[in-house]
C-alpha cells in the first residue's frame, strides 16, 4: 500500500492521472452536450451536424491535451512510463482506436454519409447515423427479397473501413444498372418484341436517362473510367426452351424494385396486344398417354 501511495506522489504519474481525469471529463461533457442538442434542435440535419461538431471539437481537444502533456516537459524523465503506457493502451484498445480513427477517415474523406446506401462487412443497408465508434445501418435483405428493409438496426464498427471494401450505391452516381429478362417462344416475332420492349422502357425511363447523363459525365471526368450507354439496351439469348430478351437499363438506386415491376407490367401488356405475334414463354410439360394393350388368351385345348 505504501508503495502504491508513493507511486502517486511521483509528479509524472500524478500528471498522467490528471490527464486521464481531464479526458474522462471531456468525454462525459461530449455526451451531455449531445443530449442537450438532441432536445433543443428539432431539424434532423442541423441537429446531426451540431452533434458531430461537438464530438470533433471534443476529440481534437483531447489530442491537444495529450500532445501538450508530453511535449511541455522533459521526455527523458519518463520515457519508459510513456512507452509502457502507450503500448498497453494500444494493445488493449486497438479496436476502439481503429474505430475512432475510422470515424475521422469517414468524416474527412467522405467515404459515406447519413442517407447513403452502402454494403460493408457483407451487410447492406441505409446509413442512419455515424458516431465516433459505430456506423448505424437500417438493414436490407437477409430474409426479405430485393432492396427491402428487414427491420433490423445494425451497428458496425468504424474500424471496418480499413479492413475491407465499401460499396456505396449513392455517393457519386445515385443510379444503378439493372436487368429484366423477358421470355418469348420461338414462334414469336423477335424484332417486333425487341421494338416494343425498347419503346416501353424508353417511355418509362426517360427521366432517369436524362438525369443520369450529367452525373455520368462527372464520373467520366473525375475517374479513370470509360463512357457507358445510359439508354436502355436489349440483347437476345437462345435457350433450349425459349428466347430470352435481356433488357438492361438504368434506374434510381432506391427505386430498383418498383421500376422493375412497372417495366414488366407495361411490357407484358404491350406484348399481349400483338394478336399472337409475340407470345410469352413458360415451362410446359407434355404428358403422353400410355397406349392401350389388348391381351388375348387362347384356350389350351
Q: What is the CATH number of the domain that holds 126?
A: 2.30.30
Domain match, 181 and 262 both: yes
Domain match, 8 and 83 both: yes
Domain match, 209 and 232 both: yes
Other Cβ atoms within 10 Å of 102 Cβ, number: 24
What's the mean pLDDT in 71-78? 52
**Residue 293 is placed in which grid cell?**
394393350
Domain match, 157 and 192 both: no
CA angle 149, 152, 155 (to 5 degrees): 115
Task: For residue 260, tell me if it sits in a domain.
Answer: yes
Residues 263 and 208: beta-carbon distance below 8 Å:
no
Laid out side by side, the sheet with 123-130 consists of: 149-157, 134-140, 123-130, 117-120, 166-168
Task: For residue 7, tell me if it sits in a domain.
Answer: yes
List pLDDT tens digits, range 174-225: 788 899 999 988 888 999 999 999 999 988 888 878 788 878 888 877 777 7
Confidence of residue 299 (pLDDT cuts 50, 70, 90): low
Domain of 57 in residue numbering reads as 2-92
Alpha-carbon distance of 217 to 226, in angstroms, equals: 10
Task: For residue 242, tell me if it sits in a domain.
Answer: yes
Task: For residue 282, tell me if it sits in a domain.
Answer: no
pLDDT score, position 246: 93
Domain match, 264 and 180 both: yes
Higher pLDDT, 110 or 295: 110
Alpha-carbon distance of 7 to 295, in angstroms, equals: 110
234: β partners: 247
What's the mean pLDDT in 268-276? 89
Domain match, 140 and 188 both: no
Domain match, 228 and 265 both: yes
CA angle 264, 265, 266 (to 5 degrees): 95
Task: For residue 181, tell me if it sits in a domain.
Answer: yes
Laid out side by side, the sheet with 175-184 consists of: 175-184, 243-252, 233-238
List pLDDT tens digits, range 9-40: 666 667 777 778 888 888 888 888 888 877 77
Residues 111 and 161: beta-carbon distance below 8 Å:
yes
The DSSP code for 287 is P
Strands 134-140 and 243-252 turn out to be unpaired
Alpha-carbon distance of 149 to 143, in angstroms, equals: 10
- Three-class SS of residue 41? coil
Q: Share the mean pLDDT of the chain.
A: 79
Task: For residue 290, tell me if it sits in a domain.
Answer: no
Task: Say how many domains are in the chain.
Answer: 3
CA angle 63, 69, 72 (to 5 degrees): 125
Task: For residue 98, tell me if it sits in a domain.
Answer: no
Domain match, 266 and 239 both: yes
Domain match, 208 and 225 both: yes
Domain match, 188 and 259 both: yes
pLDDT score, position 57: 78
Q: Give the domain CATH number at 254.
A: 3.30.70.100
The candidate with the shortest Cα–Cα distance to 180, out of 268, 118, 48, is 268
Long-range contacts of 151-158 (CB under 8 A, 24+ apart): 153/128, 154/123, 154/125, 156/120, 156/121, 156/123, 157/95, 157/98, 157/99, 157/102, 157/133, 158/98, 158/99, 158/100, 158/101, 158/102, 158/103, 158/105, 158/106, 158/130, 158/132, 158/133, 158/134
Domain match, 156 and 180 both: no
Task: For residue 73, tell me if it sits in a domain.
Answer: yes
Domain match, 189 and 256 both: yes
**Widest CA span in the chain:** 129
Q: How far is CA 171 from the centre of its chain?
A: 10
Average the pLDDT over each of 94-98, 148-152, 260-264, 274-278 and give the range with the smallest value.
94-98
Amino acid at each position: 500500500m505504501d508503495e502504491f501511495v508513493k507511486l502517486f506522489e511521483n509528479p509524472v504519474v500524478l500528471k498522467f492521472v490528471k490527464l486521464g481525469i481531464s479526458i474522462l471529463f471531456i468525454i462525459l461533457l461530449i455526451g451531455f452536450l449531445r443530449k442537450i442538442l438532441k432536445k433543443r434542435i428539432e431539424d434532423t440535419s442541423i441537429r446531426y451536424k451540431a452533434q458531430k461538431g461537438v464530438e470533433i471539437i471534443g476529440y481534437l481537444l483531447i489530442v491537444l491535451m495529450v500532445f501538450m502533456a508530453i511535449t511541455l516537459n522533459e521526455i527523458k524523465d519518463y520515457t519508459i512510463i510513456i512507452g509502457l503506457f502507450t503500448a498497453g493502451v494500444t494493445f488493449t484498445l486497438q479496436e476502439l482506436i481503429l474505430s475512432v480513427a475510422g470515424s475521422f477517415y469517414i468524416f474527412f474523406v467522405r467515404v459515406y454519409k447519413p442517407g447513403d446506401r452502402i454494403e460493408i462487412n457483407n451487410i447492406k443497408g441505409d446509413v442512419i447515423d455515424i458516431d465516433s465508434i459505430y456506423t448505424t445501418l437500417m438493414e436490407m435483405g437477409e430474409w426479405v427479397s430485393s432492396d427491402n428493409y428487414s427491420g433490423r438496426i445494425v451497428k458496425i464498427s468504424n474500424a471496418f473501413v480499413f479492413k475491407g471494401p465499401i460499396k456505396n450505391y449513392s455517393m457519386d452516381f445515385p443510379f444503378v444498372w439493372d436487368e429484366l429478362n423477358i421470355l418469348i417462344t420461338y414462334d414469336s416475332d423477335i424484332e417486333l418484341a425487341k421494338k416494343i420492349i425498347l419503346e416501353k422502357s424508353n417511355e418509362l425511363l426517360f427521366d432517369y436517362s436524362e438525369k443520369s447523363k450529367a452525373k455520368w459525365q462527372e464520373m467520366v471526368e473525375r475517374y479513370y473510367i470509360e463512357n457507358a450507354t445510359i439508354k436502355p439496351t436489349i440483347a437476345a439469348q437462345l435457350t433450349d426452351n425459349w428466347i430470352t430478351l435481356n433488357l438492361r437499363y438504368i434506374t434510381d438506386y432506391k427505386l430498383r424494385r418498383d421500376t422493375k415491376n412497372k417495366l414488366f407490367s407495361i411490357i407484358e401488356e404491350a406484348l399481349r396486344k400483338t394478336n399472337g405475334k409475340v407470345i410469352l414463354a413458360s415451362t410446359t410439360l407434355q404428358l403422353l398417354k400410355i397406349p392401350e394393350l389388348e391381351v388375348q388368351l387362347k384356350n389350351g385345348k
